[in-house]
Amino acid sequence: MKSPLLLAAFALAACTPAAPASAPPPAAAPAAKAAPAAQPEDFGPAQGAPIAAVLTDAPEVPPALHRTAPAHVVVDLEVIEKVGRLADGVEYTFWTFGGRVPGKFIRVRQGDTVEFHLKNAAGNKMPHNIDLHAVTGPGGGAASSFTAPGHESVFTFKALNAGLFNYHCATAPVGMHIANGMYGLILVEPPEGLPKVDRELYVMQGDFYTQGGYHDRGLQPFDMQKAIDEKPTYVLFNGAEGAASGANALQAKVGEKVRIFAGNGGPNLVSSFHVIGTVFDRVYTEGGAHFQEDVGTTLIPAGGAAIVELNARVPGDYAIVDHSIFRAFNKGAMGTLHVAGPEDKWVYSGKQADNVLGAPPTELSQPVVAAAPVPAAPPEPTALGKQVFGSLCASCHQANGQGIPGAFPPLAGSDFLMADKHRAIGIVLHGLNGPIQVNGKTFTNVMPPQSQLTDEEIASVLTYVRSNFGNHGDAVKPAEVAKQRNAKQMANR
Ligand SMILES: [Cu+2]
């Protein structure tokens, strides 16, 4: 007996104009084949003359389409291999879709017929292709777009699914092509478009693998082993350190609804995408059709994307980070959203007080007025002292000993440090629990003891800080450190 489903399919096929005149038996005509016109993703034929797609470099986004019918859209994208800035003093040979990293932003409408022209510039050394995650077809287009330098490949696809999609080169070694910057985003708008916002921005993260270390200068070659080990030297927004901060910061105004198309090219890392000091009112997770609301940090997979929206309400600089946070502070994954406009104290007050808490004043809290004695010839800072300072003290007291107001007192020009050599030894050995006065400013923080250092290390680092950063003090000897260490140990017996 025939199943009711097959019978229904047969009946449908019989009354569809596209069906063959002599209908084959139901078993040979599965439902999907029988009624192509009834597929929900068929948006009808392209209307009007072909349209050239507007392509933009980050952080610009092509304007919303506002089209009411599918069109035949032509995308012209050229691969360019070129040396560019990775960080200050650091250069890299990027392979790009359109001359920059990330690649050009492409915007089409669901149902569009997209005629894709991939050009590989004549001066390039490598063949390239493109895999667009918005494409339904082998390799996402890669199977039809392998292109030698000086050539152009053409293929056409129907944008069946709406969403924000990653695209990338998929030529072997694929990871290397992506690591060199070959990725970008394509937005397929739903027919009704995305809800209106005041501003749209394009940000894309990528991890980079250089043979030198972070900030090692010069032209840095790609390091395949680091890439295989997934140990990037840099994690960057928009292809270079500072490409989305400082003079390149993303701009918005108070009162605006801001939409960020956030991609992650990888090749390896997934991104813990966050904009410090904001909440995403909406996140179209993974760039898909549905949104989640009220999100702090969203995960963007390598080869993925997310659409995030926020209301700019309070002026200021908002750091855009990969909240896998060492990447932000030590590998470059830091951008800025600058919001300009009037304050809204109702939403955020700014600092209202700085109150002193804690223990009653100790002897250390007495202001030190005596100036440091100036010896005739300050000792040469030893290499050891400089090294201990750089690897330990500088993390709190800062690279040039300038400190951080309200948190870490300065060692540079510090009256407190210079007034008493033996007290300084005691501070490094046993730590310090304020309040103290340094150059007229009160500090009420805690410095942990650094007694893991040897007598020689403590003597060297104190000699170093007491004879650098504008200080002119005499040397500290290891025997002086040993004496205090032993005295404390005796006292503790
Ligand atoms: Cu490539």
pLDDT digits (tens, 9 = 90+) for 413-467: 999 999 999 999 999 999 998 799 999 999 988 888 888 889 999 999 999 999 9
Separation of CA 126 and ligand 1 centre (Å): 7
Q: How far is residue 211's CA from residue 179's CA, in Å, rounded to a whole number?
A: 13
Closest by Cα among 196, 194, 206, 368 to 291: 194
> 85 alpha carbon to ligand 1 midpoint, in Å?
19
**d(CA 73, ligand 1 centre) in Å:** 23
User: Nearest Cα to 44, choosing from 69, 12, 18, 13?
Assistant: 69
Which of 106, 108, 88, 90 minimizes the C-alpha distance to 98?
106
- Give the distance (Å) from ligand 1 centre to CA of residue 189: 27
Please give the distance, rounded to the nearest whole angstrom, from the Cα atom of residue 396 to the centre of ligand 1. Answer: 44
**Residue-by-residue DSSP string for 146-169:** -B-TTEEEEEEEE--S-EEEEEE-
Region 265-270 average pLDDT: 98
Separation of CA 187 and ligand 1 centre (Å): 21
Query: For all residues of the chain together, what is the average pLDDT?
Result: 88
Run of H or E residues at 361: none
Helices (H) and strands (E) in the chain, counts: 11, 25
How many angstroms is it from 95 CA to the middle of ligand 1? 7
- For residue 274, give both structure tokens: 């966050």
* 337-362 pLDDT per residue, tens: 999 999 999 999 988 888 888 766 55
| Distance from Cα 94 to the centre of ligand 1, integer Å | 10
Task: Judge whether residue 100 has pLDDT over 50.
Answer: yes
**Ligand 1 centre distance from Cα of residue 171 (Å):** 5
How many angstroms is it from 201 CA to the middle of ligand 1? 25
What is the per-residue pLDDT for 18?
Answer: 39
d(CA 189, CA 378): 69
Question: In this structure, what are the phi and psi dihedrals at residue 203, rounded to the nearest 5 degrees?
Answer: -130, 135
Report the 10 Å Cβ neighbour count for 213. Answer: 8
Confidence of residue 21 (pLDDT cuts 50, 70, 90): very low
CA of 233 to the centre of ligand 1 (A): 21
Give me ligand 1 centre to Cα 175, in Å.
9
Cis status of the peptide bond prior to 102, with omega within 30 of 0: yes
302 CA distance to ligand 1 centroid (A)? Answer: 17
Specify the DSSP class assigned to residue 241: T
pLDDT at residue 402, rounded to an integer: 93
Question: Is residue 4 within a helix (H) or strand (E), and if so which, with residue range?
Answer: helix 4-14
6 C-alpha vs ligand 1 centroid, how far in Å?
47
pLDDT value at residue 487: 87
Question: What are 155-207's pLDDT values in tens digits?
Answer: 999 999 999 999 999 999 999 999 999 999 999 999 999 999 999 999 999 99
**Residue 389 has what DSSP assignment?**
I
- What is the Å distance from ligand 1's center to 156 Cα? 20
User: Tokens 């952080």 identify what position?
Assistant: 59
Q: Could you give the CA distance from residue 470 to residue 101 in angstroms, rounded to a whole number?
A: 43
Angle between helices 421-430 and 455-466 (to 10 degrees): 130
How far apart are the CA of 155 and the centre of ligand 1, in A? 17
53: CA distance to ligand 1 center in Å?
Answer: 22
Res 2 pLDDT > 90: no
List of residues 6+ apart from 12 with CB closer than 8 A: 31, 34, 35, 38
How far away, in angstroms, is 222 Cα from ligand 1 center?
A: 14
- C-alpha angle 421/422/424, rounded to 5°? 65
Task: Kindly provide the residue ranges of all beta strands, DSSP E only, lying in 241-391, ordered along the sequence.
Answer: 250-253, 257-266, 271-275, 280-284, 292-295, 297-300, 304-311, 316-322, 334-340
Question: How far apart, in whole angstroms, are the C-alpha atoms of residue 234 and residue 231?
Answer: 9
